[in-house]
Amino acid sequence: MPDATTENVTLLKADELGRIERVERDGVVVIRRDIASARWWARSFARRAAAREARALARLEGIDGVPRLLAWNGRVLERSYMAGQPMQQGQPRDPAYYRQALRLLSVLHRRGIVHNDLAKEPNWLLREDGTPGLVDFQIAWTRGRRGRLFRLLAREDLRHLLKHKRTYAPDRLSVRQQAILSRPAPHSRLWRATGKRLYKLIARRIFGYWDNEGQGRVRR
């Protein structure tokens, strides 16, 4: 990695999984995830999550709307910066945004990648040109195999996008999209009935954030 003295670093988030920083280097902005500062009990998970994100971004190389993988050395991941607002701030209401988001998801799935975390609005960007972007591939499906489980998870990617469309542009949902929303996958129904409350408790008490906030606790 380049010498830190040549960098202008802004801390975006620091929690039990490490630090996320905005780094300006010679006029170029990148996002850096450093897991060296992760808590000892979370370090193994943080490393696996970063490695998964690196695999996903490498497989998605060249796709507009997804960051480029710049570096991954087992401790620090760097990706390109995409200018824009997280969905909960930008609140996209233009139907074109959702048409483009559907196409972006389709490209991901054709590459054998399922995001798996699209219920979180901060993982969707409203970019400066009004188009969608996707970030945070830490729990993405990266195996490439497109069997029954892949199709089930890909459908959930789609359903979560439609849930956001229902929030910001409900009058533009098609009849088919409304039908998809009304039929969550079995594992999604089981998750809501069992594990979701525990997940929210852990997210708030340990990491200091909820799904739609996108701003974790800054741990000193």
Q: Give the start-to-end residue ranges of the domains of the chain.
A: 8-80, 84-207
Mean pLDDT (the chain, rounded): 86
Q: What is the per-residue pLDDT for 109?
A: 96
Q: Which helix (H) or strand (E) holds 168?
A: helix 148-168
Q: What is the per-residue pLDDT for 208?
A: 55
Quick one: which of 204, 205, 133 has its CA closest to 213? 204
At 214, the pLDDT band (50, 70, 90 cuts) reads very low
- The pLDDT of residue 197 is above 80: no
At 184, the pLDDT band (50, 70, 90 cuts) reads confident
- The pLDDT of residue 122 is above 80: yes
Instruction: Give percent above pLDDT 90 in the chain.
Output: 70
Locate 77 and state its tokens.
């991941």
Q: What is the per-residue pLDDT for 188?
A: 54
CB contact set of 91 (below 8 Å; sequence gap of 6+): 126, 168
- The pLDDT of residue 183 is above 70: yes
DSSP class of residue 135 equals -
Q: What is the per-residue pLDDT for 6?
A: 81
Residue with more model confidence, 6 or 138: 138
Residue 72's DSSP bridge partners are 77
Q: What is the mean pLDDT of residues 196-212?
A: 50
Strand order in the sheet with 28-34: 7-15, 18-25, 28-34, 76-80, 69-72
State how far the Cα of 114 lies from the Cα of 140, in Å rounded to an integer. 6
Amino acid code (one letter) for 199: Y
State how far the Cα of 125 lies from the Cα of 213, in Å rounded to an integer. 13
At 215, the pLDDT band (50, 70, 90 cuts) reads very low
CATH of domain 8-80: 3.30.200.20
State how far the Cα of 62 lies from the Cα of 5, in Å rounded to an integer. 31
Q: Which residue has the tokens 């909820």?
A: 210
Give CA angle at 95 (91, 97), nearest 5°. Answer: 65
Instruction: Give percent above pLDDT 70 in the chain.
Output: 81
Q: What is the mean pLDDT of residues 130-149?
A: 91
| CATH 1.10.510.10 given to domain 84-207 | yes
Q: What is the mean pLDDT of residues 9-20?
A: 92
Q: What is the per-residue pLDDT for 1?
A: 52
